[in-house]
Amino acid sequence: MLNSTVIELSDALAAKKVSSVELTRLYLDRIKGLNGQLNAFITVDEERSLAQARIADERRSRGEAGALTGVPVAHKDIYCTRGFRTTCGSKMLANFRSPYDAHVIERFNAAGAVLLGKTNMDEFAMGSSNETSHFGPVRNPWDPGRVPGGSSGGSAAAVAARMAPAATGTDTGGSIRQPAALCGISGLKPTYGVVSRYGMIAFASSLDQGGPMAKSAADLALLMNAMAGFDARDSTSLERPAEDYGRELKLDVAGLRIGLPKEYFAEGVDPEVLSRVREAIRWFESQGAETLEITLPNTGLAVPVYYVIAPAEASSNLSRFDGVRYGHRAKDYADLNDMYRRTRAEGFGTEVKRRIMIGTYVLSHGYYDAYYLQAQKVRRMIAKDFTEAFTRCDLIMGPTSPSTAFALGAKSDDPVQMYLNDIFTIPAPLAGLPGLSIPCGFDARGLPVGLQIMGNYFAEARMLGAAHRYQQATDWHLRAPNEAPL
Amino acid sequence: MAWEIVVGIETHTQLLTRSKMFSGAPNAFGAAPNTQACAVDIALPGTLPVANRAAIEHAIRFGLAVNGRISPRSVFARKNYFYPDLPKGYQISQYEIPVVQGGTFRFFADKIEKSIRLTRAHLEEDAGKSLHENFSDVTGIDLNRAGTPLLEIVTEPELRGAKEAVAYARALHVLVVWIGICDGNMQEGSFRCDANVSVRKTGDEKLGTRCEIKNLNSFRFMEQAIEYEAARQIEVLEGGGSIVQQTRLYDADRNETRSMRSKEDVQDYRYFPDPDLLPLVISEQDIERVRASMPELPETKRAKLIEAGVPPAQANQITSDIELTRYTVSAIRDASRIATQTVSSLIVGPLSARLNQDNISIDKSKMSADQLRILAQRMEDGTLSGKLAKEIIDAAWAGEGNVDEIIEKRGLRQISDSGAIEKIVDEVLAANAKQVADYRAGKEKAFNSLVGQVMKRSQGKANPAQVNEVLRRKLTSA
pLDDT at B407: 87
Q: With contacts defined as CB-CB under 8 Å, which chain A residues touch B43? A: 320, 325
* pLDDT tens per residue across span A101-123: 999 999 999 999 999 999 999 99
- The residues near B398 (Cβ < 8 Å, ≥ 6 apart) are none
Mean pLDDT of B115-143: 92
Asked if the C-beta of A101 comes within 8 angstroms of chain B's C-beta atoms, the answer is no
pLDDT at B477: 72
* CB pairs A-B closer than 8 Å: 98
Closest approach of A317 to chain B, Cα-based (Å): 8
Rounded (10°) angle between helices B298-308 and B162-178? 90
Strand partners, B258: B249
Closest approach of A309 to chain B, Cα-based (Å): 10
Strand partners, A187: A213, A437
User: Given an 8 Å threshold on Cβ–Cβ distance, is B43 in contact with A199?
Assistant: no
Mean pLDDT of A29-56: 97
Chain B, nearest residue to A101 by Cα: B46
**Residue A430 confidence (pLDDT) above 80:** yes
Mean pLDDT of B185-206: 94
Instruction: Tally helices (H) and strands (E) across chain B.
Output: 16, 18
pLDDT at B339: 85
Mean pLDDT of B108-117: 91
**Residue from B41, B89, B35, B43 nearest A326 by CA:** B43
What is the pLDDT confidence band of residue B455, given thresholds at 50, 70 and 90?
confident
* pLDDT tens per residue across span A148-164: 999 999 999 999 999 99
Query: What letter does residue A448 receive in the DSSP assignment?
Result: E
- Estimate the share of chain A in helix, then strand, then coil, as percent rounded to the nearest 5: 40, 15, 45
Closest approach of A450 to chain B, Cα-based (Å): 30
Rounded (10°) angle between helices B369-380 and B389-397? 150
Mean pLDDT of B381-391: 82
Chain A, nearest residue to B88 by Cα: A320
pLDDT at B88: 98
What is the pLDDT confidence band of residue B446, given thresholds at 50, 70 and 90?
confident
Q: Which residue has the higher pLDDT, B266 or B216?
A: B216
Amino acid identity, residue A225? Answer: N
Neighbours of B399 (CB within 10 A): 7
Mean pLDDT of B208-225: 93
**Residue from A216, A193, A186 nearest A103 by CA:** A193
Rg (CA), chain A: 21
Mean pLDDT of B65-75: 97
Distance of CA A304 to the CA centre of its chain: 21
Mean pLDDT of B253-264: 82
pLDDT at B478: 55
pLDDT at B139: 87
**Residue B377 confidence (pLDDT) above 90:** no
User: Given an 8 Å threshold on Cβ–Cβ distance, is B39 in contact with A99?
Assistant: yes
Mean pLDDT of B231-255: 93
Q: Give the integer Cα–Cα distance in Å for A210 and B370.
A: 65
- Choose among B42, B90, B278: nearest Cβ to A236: B278
Please state the φ and ψ torsions of residue B280, each to the nearest 5 degrees: -80, 110
Query: What letter does residue A346 receive in the DSSP assignment?
Result: H
Residues in chain A: 486
Asked if the C-beta of B127 comes within 8 angstroms of chain A's C-beta atoms, the answer is no
pLDDT at B368: 93
Cα–Cα distances in angstroms (integers) from residue B430 to residues A164, B451, B476, in the given order: 115, 14, 15
- The three-class DSSP label of residue A7 is helix
Q: With contacts defined as CB-CB under 8 Å, which chain B residues touch A100? A: 39, 44
- Choose among A201, A235, A324: nearest Cβ to B51: A235
**Residue A486 confidence (pLDDT) above 70:** no
Mean pLDDT of A265-275: 94
Q: Give the integer Cα–Cα distance in Å for B298 and B316.
A: 9
- The residues near A362 (Cβ < 8 Å, ≥ 6 apart) are A308, A311, A312, A368, A371, A372, A375
C-beta of residue B276 within 8 angstroms of C-beta of residue B270: no
* pLDDT tens per residue across span B9-65: 999 999 999 999 999 999 988 899 999 999 999 999 999 999 999 999 999 999 999
What is the pLDDT confidence band of residue B265, given thresholds at 50, 70 and 90?
low
C-beta of residue A397 within 8 angstroms of C-beta of residue A281: yes
User: Given an 8 Å threshold on Cβ–Cβ distance, is B270 in contact with A313?
Assistant: no
C-beta of residue B327 within 8 angstroms of C-beta of residue B369: yes
Amino acid identity, residue A432? Answer: G
- The three-class DSSP label of residue B69 is strand
Chain A 348-387, CB below 8 Å of chain B: which residues?
360, 363-365, 368, 372
Domains annotated on chain A, with CATH:
6-248+435-478 (3.90.1300.10)
Mean pLDDT of A250-273: 95
Mean pLDDT of B79-97: 96
Asked if the C-beta of A312 comes within 8 angstroms of chain B's C-beta atoms, the answer is yes
Neighbours of B279 (CB within 10 A): 13
Chain A, nearest residue to B24 by Cα: A233
User: Given an 8 Å threshold on Cβ–Cβ distance, is A322 in contact with B89?
Assistant: yes
User: Given an 8 Å threshold on Cβ–Cβ distance, is B270 in contact with A360?
Assistant: yes
pLDDT at B217: 85
Strand partners, A439: A450
C-beta of residue A211 within 8 angstroms of C-beta of residue A171: yes
User: Given an 8 Å threshold on Cβ–Cβ distance, is A86 in contact with B82?
Assistant: no
Asked if the C-beta of B44 comes within 8 angstroms of chain A's C-beta atoms, the answer is yes
User: Given an 8 Å threshold on Cβ–Cβ distance, is A201 in contact with B46?
Assistant: yes
Query: What letter does residue A372 receive in the DSSP assignment?
Result: I
The phi-psi region of residue B175 (left if phi > 0; otherwise alpha if psi is between -120 and 50; otherwise beta) is: alpha
User: Given an 8 Å threshold on Cβ–Cβ distance, is A360 in contact with B87?
Assistant: no
User: Given an 8 Å threshold on Cβ–Cβ distance, is A336 in contact with B84?
Assistant: yes
User: Given an 8 Å threshold on Cβ–Cβ distance, is A205 in contact with B87?
Assistant: no
Nearest 5°: the CA angle A30, A33, A36 is 125
pLDDT at A485: 62
Q: Give the integer Cα–Cα distance in Å for B71 and B94.
A: 12
Asked if the C-beta of B47 comes within 8 angstroms of chain A's C-beta atoms, the answer is yes
**Residue B355 confidence (pLDDT) above 90:** yes
Q: Which range (A188-202, A290-304, B312-326) has the least confidence? A: B312-326
Mean pLDDT of A316-325: 97
Please state the φ and ψ torsions of residue B277, each to the nearest 5 degrees: -125, 135
User: Given an 8 Å threshold on Cβ–Cβ distance, is B80 in contact with A102?
Assistant: no
Chain A 315-334, CB below 8 Å of chain B: which residues?
315-316, 318-322, 324-326
* pLDDT tens per residue across span B399-410: 888 998 898 888
Please state the φ and ψ torsions of residue B261, each to the nearest 5 degrees: -160, 150
What is the pLDDT confidence band of residue B454, given thresholds at 50, 70 and 90?
confident
Residues in chain B: 478
Q: Which range (A187-191, A358-362, B309-313, B423-427) has the least confidence? A: B423-427
DSSP letters, B93-110, are EE-SS-SEE--EEEEEET
Q: Give the integer Cα–Cα distance in Å for A184 and B368.
A: 81
C-beta of residue A70 within 8 angstroms of C-beta of residue A53: yes
Strand partners, B154: B10, B120
Distance of CA A240 to the CA centre of its chain: 23
**Residue A93 confidence (pLDDT) above 90:** yes
Strand partners, A397: A453
Q: Give the integer Cα–Cα distance in Å for B349 and B292.
A: 34
Domain coordinates of chain B in residue numbers?
A: 3-289, 298-409, 418-477
Mean pLDDT of B385-399: 88
End-to-end C-alpha distance for chain A, whole angstroms: 10
User: Given an 8 Å threshold on Cβ–Cβ distance, is B268 in contact with A364?
Assistant: yes
C-beta of residue A70 within 8 angstroms of C-beta of residue A165: no
Please state the φ and ψ torsions of residue B13, each to the nearest 5 degrees: -105, 115
Count CA atoms closer than 13 A to A15's CA, side-chain side: 7
Closest approach of A330 to chain B, Cα-based (Å): 15
Asked if the C-beta of A233 comes within 8 angstroms of chain B's C-beta atoms, the answer is yes
Q: With contacts defined as CB-CB under 8 Å, which chain A residues touch B50? A: 232-235
pLDDT at B263: 64
pLDDT at A408: 96
Distance of CA B64 to the CA centre of its chain: 19
Q: With contacts defined as CB-CB under 8 Å, which chain B residues touch A192? A: none
Chain B 262-291, CB below 8 Å of chain A: which residues?
268, 270-272, 274-278
Alpha helices of B66-200 — where are they, by DSSP H? Answer: 162-178
Asked if the C-beta of B80 comes within 8 angstroms of chain A's C-beta atoms, the answer is yes
The mean pLDDT of chain B is: 92
Q: Give the integer Cα–Cα distance in Å for A481 and A446.
A: 9
User: Given an 8 Å threshold on Cβ–Cβ distance, is B47 in contact with A326?
Assistant: no
Strand partners, B152: B12, B122
Nearest 5°: the CA angle B65, B68, B73 is 120
Asked if the C-beta of A142 comes within 8 angstroms of chain B's C-beta atoms, the answer is no
- Choose among B88, B271, B276: nearest Cβ to A320: B88
Mean pLDDT of A253-280: 96
**Residue B416 confidence (pLDDT) above 80:** no
Mean pLDDT of B149-157: 98
pLDDT at B264: 62
Instruction: List residues of A with catalytic annotation.
Output: 76, 151, 175
Q: Give the integer Cα–Cα distance in Å for B34 and A325.
A: 12
| ipTM of the prediction | 0.96
Q: With contacts defined as CB-CB under 8 Å, which chain B residues touch A88? A: 45
* pLDDT tens per residue across span A139-148: 999 999 999 9
**Residue B83 confidence (pLDDT) above 70:** yes
pLDDT at A322: 97
| Domain covering B418-477: architecture | Orthogonal Bundle (1.10)
**Residue from A142, A125, A192 nearest A432 by CA:** A192
